[in-house]
Structure 1
Amino acid sequence: LELVLAARAFAIKELGLAESESYTTYYDTGGEPVAYNVSAAPKDSLEP
């Protein structure tokens, strides 16, 4: 988490990115996933 804050500070100070509330809080999910991603394709191809 400290690395995220350091990267955020660098981006604001050195790269001129606009400061916002992004990446300033943390939510503990208790080990549960926040989202699932499901996709489907033919078994012999990665085309939709």
Structure 2
Amino acid sequence: MIEMKHLNINFGDQVIFNDAHFKTCPGQITGIIGKSGCGKTTFLKSLLYQ
């Protein structure tokens, strides 16, 4: 299982994520969707570096 709790990411004064939570289980297909610039790549990088 991948689980992330209380994720906070800021770029300068701009808040990207504030107390975000995420959980996914093995064998489950999970997609991350959203508008351009909403933080999808930032979120995925935070999963890799934590």
Please give the TM-score of this superposition, normalised by the length of structure 2.
Answer: 0.21
Instruction: Name the one with the larger strand percent.
Output: 2
Q: Which structure is higher in RCO with an 8 Å CA cutoff and minimum separation 6?
A: 2
Instruction: Name the one with the larger helix percent.
Output: 1
